[in-house]
Amino acid sequence: MMNTKLIKAILPVLVGLILFILPPPTGLSSAAWRYFAVFAGVVVGLILEPLPAAAIGFIGVAIAGIFGFAVVDPKITTSENWLSTAMSAPLGVQAASIRWALSGFSDGTVWLIFAAFMFALGYQKTGLGKRLGLLLVKLLGKNTLGLGYAVAFSDLILAPFMPSNTARSGGTLFPIIRNIPGLYGSEPGPTARRVGSYVMWTALAVTCVTSSMFLTALAPNLAAVTQVTRIAKINVEWTQWMMGFLPAGVILILIVPFLIYALYPPEVKKSTEVPQWAAKELAKMGSISRNEILMAVMALIALVLWIQNVFNGTLVALIVISLMLILKIVSWDDILDNKQAWNVLVWFATLVALASGLQTIGFTQWVGENAAKLLSGLAPTTIMILLVVVFFVSHYLFASVTAHVAAMMPVILAAGVAIPGMNVTVLSLLLLYSLGLMGIITPYGTGPSPIYFGSNYVAKKDFWLLGLVFGAVYLAVLLIVEVPYLLMLYPK
């Protein structure tokens, strides 16, 4: 019997090679198909993980970069002998390929994710995270489900004021809740399912919901509204957005912590002793220390600046980390030693580059255009639903909601607007509301995803499976609840 590790190593290569040698579908260039073959092999590798996820992404970028797969150059893309042409490409083409390969490392969201780990480090090193975790456990720790709802409502309170779910969930909530599982003897590995897996998945699942509840809860929401105004000639206001999503939003916020509790249950359900123990531990910690106060001030500064949205969110994070270094809350050696943060940085940066390549090479546009053609001839409402499904499911191809909006929103929206009898207002709102929800489906789907994935509390296979299940739940609620509700609000 073939070794399991060997099978996991062979399958991604095999999938990539099979797609590579197959002829491209009609309407898709050979270059785009070759690039998609590499991308598909990387995705299979991320699922099976014969190597660490960051290493797989790194290898994928290197392969695509060496052969210029992501560079739109006629000499390479139209050449029958593309291999020798690519290998002998002029320096200008090679430089473009290098810029593409490294483009993920210049992405602001990538560095904001990295900053979230540094904030968590500050909370951990000063003891502030432990203190806040103990306070939460003391108040709500008798019931693990209560912890889930505490996380949910904390995110909900912040969501209207923070247009970055990475800053909100990854930079503000994650550093606090990261300290809770250990209080129950739950750490990454064999004990993760005691409490940690439930708390971490709940935090991610909830922030995907709140990101769709408010216009200002997710940065790409604003860009998407601009496209709706430009293409569909519809203006979407803050209150209109909130009231339109209210039924689905309320349902999901109320059921998600319980649904996770039922489908992915924590091993520790109740513990009357733990809150008592937490109270004793708080007493042992004594009064709050200087560094804890400084860390709290740093967190407050970041929170205020994120809410005010005066500076770029990533710039705010870099400023606060600099202050943490100056005030000696953390040291440079602490940052260098944080292997988890650097690992996630490389992993997500390579995925951002790989996903952007699909757009550059024309693959995502081809998907959108062909989906629209296949739907022609159906009833307008049926087409509307199918367009939303295509838009939602295609997020498997993206490592950023912003990139998804830029690549797919114009194509899907334009296809819908061209359909006679289409309720363009309802279609536009459904596409807008799907943006936050779709982030749940992959470990790279939205900014906070790599943070919770990188915490190692949720097993890799569980992350993909839960993403599939909750993606289906979110999409079902969006369509079943919102379609009739919005058609009632905006009849033709």
**Chain position carrying tokens 């560079």:** 71
Identify whether the C-beta of residue 113 lies closer than 8 Å to the C-beta of residue 447.
yes
**Helix 460-477 and helix 424-437: axis angle, to 10°?**
160
Domain boundary among 52, 76, 105: 105
* Residue 74 pLDDT: 47
For residue 25, the 8-state DSSP code is P
Rounded Cα distance, 394 and 416, in Å: 16
Identify whether the C-beta of residue 252 lies closer than 8 Å to the C-beta of residue 477.
yes
Task: Note whether 164 and 259 are same-domain residues.
Answer: yes
Burial bucket for residue 300 (CB in 10 Å: 0-12, 13-18, 19+): exposed
What would the DSSP string read from start to end of 399-429?
Answer: S-HHHHHHHHHHHHHHHHHTSTT--HHHHHH
Rounded Cα distance, 212 and 224, in Å: 12
Task: Note whether 306 and 408 are same-domain residues.
Answer: no
SS3 label, residue 143: strand
Q: Which residue type, as a one-letter code, is found at position 56?
A: I
**Helix 460-477 and helix 380-393: axis angle, to 10°?**
160
For 448, phi then psi, to 5°, come to -70, -20
Cα–Cα distances in Å, from 303 out to 131, 172, 174, 246, 421? Answer: 19, 8, 13, 25, 45
Task: Note whether 452 and 466 are same-domain residues.
Answer: yes
Q: What is the CA radius of gyration of the chain?
A: 23
Domain boundary among 105, 133, 166: 105
Residue 441's domain spans which residues? 347-489
pTM beyond 0.85: the answer is no
* Residue 93 pLDDT: 59
Q: Give which of 76, 39, 36, 32 is closest to 60, Cα–Cα.
A: 39
Task: Note whether 48 and 113 are same-domain residues.
Answer: no
Q: Give which of 224, 198, 199, 200 is closest to 211, Cα–Cα.
A: 224
Task: Note whether 265 and 360 are same-domain residues.
Answer: no
Task: Note whether 141 and 96 are same-domain residues.
Answer: no
* Residue 162 pLDDT: 67
Task: Note whether 363 and 326 are same-domain residues.
Answer: no
Q: Residue 154 CA to chain centroid, in angstroms?
A: 19
Task: Note whether 317 and 375 are same-domain residues.
Answer: no
For residue 237, the 8-state DSSP code is -
Task: Note whether 338 and 351 are same-domain residues.
Answer: no
Residues belonging to the chain: 492
Domain boundary among 291, 324, 345: 345
Identify whether the C-beta of residue 92 lies closer than 8 Å to the C-beta of residue 299.
no
For 191, phi then psi, to 5°, come to -100, 5
Identify whether the C-beta of residue 78 lies closer than 8 Å to the C-beta of residue 390.
no
Task: Note whether 41 and 134 are same-domain residues.
Answer: no
Identify whether the C-beta of residue 302 lies closer than 8 Å to the C-beta of residue 119.
yes
For residue 69, give both structure tokens: 């797969």
In order along its 492 residues, the chain shows pLDDT tens digits of 457 778 888 888 999 999 989 998 888 888 888 888 988 888 788 777 788 878 888 999 988 888 877 775 545 444 455 455 555 555 555 777 888 888 888 877 778 778 877 887 888 788 887 787 778 778 877 888 988 888 888 888 878 766 678 878 887 788 888 888 887 888 998 999 999 999 999 999 999 999 999 887 887 887 788 778 877 888 888 888 989 999 999 999 999 999 999 999 999 888 777 788 778 888 888 888 999 999 889 888 887 887 776 777 788 889 999 999 999 999 999 999 988 788 878 887 887 788 778 777 877 678 767 776 777 778 889 999 999 998 999 888 777 787 788 777 877 887 888 788 889 999 999 999 999 999 999 988 888 998 999 899 999 889 999 999 999 999 999 999 999 999 999 987
Tally the domains of the chain.
3
Task: Note whether 80 and 158 are same-domain residues.
Answer: no
Task: Note whether 122 and 256 are same-domain residues.
Answer: yes
